[in-house]
Amino acid sequence: MGDAATVGGGGGCCRFAWQVLRGGWFMIPAAFLVMAGAGATYLYGVYSKDIKARLGYDQSTLNLLASMKDLGANVGIPAGLLAEVAPTWVVLLVGSIMNFGGYFLIWLAVVGKIPKPAVWHMCVYICLGANSQNFSNTGALVTCVKNFPEARGMMLGLMKGFVGLSGALFTQLYYAIYGNDSTSMILLIGWLPSVISIVFLTTLRPMKASTHPRVLNVLYQNMYVTVGLAAFLMGLIIAQKQVQFSQTAYIGSAIAVIVLILLPFGIAVREELLVWREKKQPVAAPTDIVIAKESKTLPESPQTDTQKEKEGATEEMPCYSLLEHMNREWSTQGIPLLPVIRVAEDGRLVKGEARVKENELEKEMEQAKLSSRRRRNASAITGTPSGH
How is the chain split into domains, by residue range? 2-280, 305-382
CA angle 165, 169, 175 (to 5 degrees): 150
Report CA-CA distances (Å) from 146 to 5, 74, 112, 211, 229. Answer: 35, 22, 45, 12, 26
Region 2-280: CATH code: 1.20.1250.20
Backbone phi and psi for residue 91, each to the nearest 5 degrees, phi listed first: -60, -45
Report CA-CA distances (Å) from 15 to 11, 24, 376. Answer: 6, 15, 77
Could you say which DSSP state residue 347 is in? S
Contacts 24+ apart (CB under 8 A), 277-280: 277/6, 280/6
If 0-12 CB within 10 Å is exposed, 13-18 middle and 19+ buried, where does residue 160 land? middle
Q: Nearest Cα to 129, choosing from 165, 103, 148?
A: 103
So what's the pLDDT on residue 287? Answer: 53
Does residue 264 come out as left (phi exceeding 0), alpha (psi in the -120 to 50 range) or beta? alpha
- Which helix (DSSP H) or strand (DSSP E) does residue 44 occupy? helix 44-55
Which ranges constitute the DSSP H helices of 148-284? 152-178, 183-199, 215-242, 247-280
Report CA-CA distances (Å) from 268 to 211, 226, 265, 346. Answer: 16, 15, 5, 61
Q: What is the pLDDT along the chain (388 residues), one digit of tens a residue?
A: 455 555 655 567 888 888 888 888 899 999 999 999 988 888 998 899 999 999 999 999 999 999 999 999 999 899 999 999 999 999 999 999 999 999 999 999 999 999 999 999 999 999 999 999 999 999 999 999 888 888 888 999 999 999 999 999 999 999 999 888 888 899 999 999 999 999 999 899 888 876 677 888 999 999 999 999 999 999 999 999 999 999 899 999 999 999 999 999 999 999 888 888 877 776 555 554 545 444 445 455 555 555 544 444 444 444 445 555 565 665 665 555 555 555 455 545 455 544 444 556 667 777 777 877 777 776 665 555 554 4
So what's the pLDDT on residue 388? Answer: 46
